[in-house]
Amino acid sequence: MTSNNHPLPLTEPYLQGNEIVYVTDCIRSGWVSSLGEYIGRFEQSFAAFCGTRHGVAICNGTAALHLALLTLDIGPGDEVIVPSLTFIATANAVRYTGATPVFADCRESDWTIDTDHAARKVTPRTRAIIPVHLYGFPADMEGLTALAAAHQLHVVEDAAEAHGAGYHGRRVGGFGVMNIFSFYGNKIITTGEGGMITANDDALVARARFLRDHAMSPEKRYWHPEVGYNYRLTNVQAAMGLAQMEQIDWIISRKREIARRYNTLLAGVPGVVLPPEGPGVEPVYWMYSILVTRDFPIGRDALREKLKSSGIDSRPFFYPVHTLPPYADGQSLPVSERISSQGVNLPCGPRLTDDDIRRVAEVIRSCR
Ligand SMILES: *Cc1c(COP(=O)(O)O)cnc(C)c1O
C-alpha cells in the first residue's frame, strides 16, 4: 500500500535473511536453550566484525555492561565516569555493582562525553570511564584513551547504539578493555533481547564467561567458588543474531544513505541542527537525530506533535541521567540539559523509502 500517510515507525527490526531458517533449525534440533552451536558462531562473527579476538554473548546489553564491570572488579567504593546524556542503563549497570556513577557533561559538537569535563571528574576512587556512542556517533576515543592511560582507568565502551560505527578506520567496540553492545528489538541488529561483550584479553574473557554461568568451575561441574549470574543468551537468540550479522553491512549502509538524504533535504532549515559530523568519524545513525533550536518556528515538542499527526513516529532525546530521580544530585550539566531538551530522533529504519524521507522533511520544512 502506498497511501502517503502510512505510519512511519522510528525503527523496526529488519529480519529478511536466514533468521527463520536458523531459528527453525534450533527448534527442530531441540537446541533452544543456552547451549548450541549458534552461540559460538554468533560470538565469533560479531567479534570479527568489531575487530576483537573475543565476543561473549549476554542476555541483554545492560547485563553485558554489568558483567563487564564485575569482570573488571569494580564495586563498592569505586567511581565510574559516565556521560549524563545516555540511556539510563549505562548508569544503572554501574549502580548494580555498588560503585557510584559520576556524570560528565557532553560536547556541544557531537553530543558525546566531553573529555575535558570527564578529566575534571577524576578522583583517587575513579576506576573506569564509559564512553557512550550516542545514537551511533563515536565518542572521542583518542582523548578518552589518553585520559584513561594517564590515570590508569579502564575504558568500557557502551556501543549499544553503534554497531559498526567507524573511528579513524577502526570500528567501535575494540577501543576499550571490555566493550558492550545491545541487540534489543530497536537496535541496529536484534536478537529480540540480547547483548555482547567484545574484548581481546583472554583472562578477562574467561572470567566473564565464568561469571555469566553462575561462576561454575570449568573443571568441576556444580562447584561454584563464588556468586555468579545467569546472564546467558539462548541458542535461538544467537541463531537470529547470526542471520542478522549476514545483513549488518547492508543495514548500516542503508542507514547512512537515509541520513545523507535527510541531510540534503534539511540543510539550511533555520533552527534545525543536523547530526554531528567529524573528521575520521563514520556514524551509523541508529536514529537520525536533529536539534530544534530557538530559531525554529515552533518548539521541539510541538514539532513532534506535527509529525505525529502526519503518522510519523519520533522520539525526544534521553533526559540527562543526572536529572532522573535515582541519580538527581542537584548539579547542572548545561550542555547535556540543553541538547536533551532540543533533540529529536526521526525515523531511520532500513526500509524507509526516499518518499518517506521526503515526507518527514516536508513536515519539518512546512512548520511556521
Ligand atoms: C539499549 C542501550 C543499553 C541497554 O541495552 P539492553 O539490551 O536494552 O539492556 C545500554 N546503553 C545504551 C546507550 C543503550 O542505548
pTM here is 0.97
Q: Is the pLDDT of residue 2 over 70?
A: no
What is the average pLDDT across 194-208?
98
Q: Are strands 126-129 and 79-83 parallel, antiparallel or unpaired?
A: parallel
- CA dist 78 → 75, 155, 297 (Å): 6, 14, 46
Is residue 123 helix, strand or coil?
A: coil
Look at ligand 1, atom 5, and give the residue with the nearest C-alpha: 61
Question: If pLDDT is split at 50, 70 and 90, which confidence band does 1 have?
Answer: very low
CA of residue 130 to ligand 1 center, whole Å: 13
Question: If pLDDT is split at 50, 70 and 90, which confidence band does 103 have?
Answer: very high
Using most ligand atoms within 8 A of CB, pick from 161, 188, 189 the residue to mutate for ligand 1.
161
CA of residue 290 to ligand 1 center, whole Å: 21
What is the average pLDDT across 172-195?
98
What is the average pLDDT across 305-326?
98
Helix (H) or strand (E) holding 282: strand 281-282
- Average pLDDT over the chain, rounded to an integer: 97
**Cβ atoms of residues 339 and 106 within 8 Å:** yes
What is the average pLDDT across 296-310?
97
Give 184-209 as a DSSP string: BTTSSS--BS-EEEEE--HHHHHHHH
Residues of the chain with pLDDT > 90, as a percent, come to 98
User: What is d(CA 346, CA 283) in angstroms, rounded to the nearest whole number?
Assistant: 15
Q: pLDDT tens digits, residue range 170-180?
A: 999 999 999 99
Least confidently predicted of 3-7, 30-34, 133-137, 152-156: 3-7
What is the average pLDDT across 354-363?
98
Look at ligand 1, atom 10, and give the residue with the nearest C-alpha: 89
What DSSP designation does 181 have? Answer: E
Give the pLDDT of residue 305: 98
What is the average pLDDT across 211-220?
96
What is the average pLDDT across 7-25?
96
Using most ligand atoms within 8 A of CB, pick from 87, 95, 191, 229 the residue to mutate for ligand 1.
87
The count of other CB atoms within 10 Å of the CB of residue 332 is 10
Give the pLDDT of residue 368: 85
Look at ligand 1, atom 2, and give the residue with the nearest C-alpha: 160
Q: Which atom of ligand 1 is nearest to the CA of 89?
A: 10
